[in-house]
């Protein structure tokens, strides 16, 4: 049974990686960038710039506290998705440019962001 779970987890990880780079049969993005955003002040919105032609984005809360994220300025405190402690979010083929807005109710939380562009 142990091997079954290890195989299942490995399979899901491979599927997530293929989705993150644009899927099978598509031209993969040419540039990847990583941003580590320290949310220094509690309940304060921080912006992470996602450049033109961002095709895929993934982010995760590094610490023990949740992070609220939105793609609309000023919305990270009202209309947002919650990235739970040590949780993550990924979106494939978004063709987005703009900001990721994030905040945490706890000062000092970190958000790790990785994005792929053309």
Determine, yes or no, domain membership for 83. yes
Residue 24 neighbours by CB distance under 10 Å? 7
- Report the pLDDT value the prediction gives residue 23, as an integer from 0 to 100: 55
Beta carbons of 93 and 112 less than 8 angstroms apart: no
Which domain, by its residues, includes 98?
29-117
User: Torsion angle of alpha carbons 38, 97, 90, 11, nearest 10°?
Assistant: -130
State how many domains the chain has: 1
Determine, yes or no, domain membership for 24. no
Determine, yes or no, domain membership for 23. no
- Give me the CATH number covering residue 46: 2.60.120.770
- Report the pLDDT value the prediction gives residue 103, as an integer from 0 to 100: 94
Determine, yes or no, domain membership for 96. yes
Determine, yes or no, domain membership for 15. no
In this predicted model, what pLDDT tens digit does every residue of 20-78 receive, in sequence order?
A: 555 555 777 888 999 999 999 999 999 999 998 888 899 999 989 999 999 888 888 88
Whole-structure pTM value: 0.72
**Token pair in block for residue 4:** 């079954």
- Report the pLDDT value the prediction gives residue 28, as an integer from 0 to 100: 79
Determine, yes or no, domain membership for 69. yes
């Amino acid at each position: 049974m142990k091997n079954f779970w290890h195989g299942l987890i490995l399979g899901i990880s491979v599927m997530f990686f293929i989705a993150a780079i644009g899927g099978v049969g598509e031209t993969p993005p040419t540039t990847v960038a990583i941003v580590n955003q320290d949310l220094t002040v509690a309940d304060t919105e921080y912006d992470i710039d996602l450049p033109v032609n961002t095709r895929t984005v993934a982010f995760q809360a590094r610490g023990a506290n949740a992070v609220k994220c939105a793609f609309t300025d000023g919305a990270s405190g009202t209309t947002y998705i919650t990235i739970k402690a040590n949780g993550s979010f990924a979106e494939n083929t978004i063709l987005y440019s703009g900001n990721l807005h994030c905040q945490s109710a706890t000062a000092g939380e970190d958000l790790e962001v990785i994005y792929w562009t053309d």
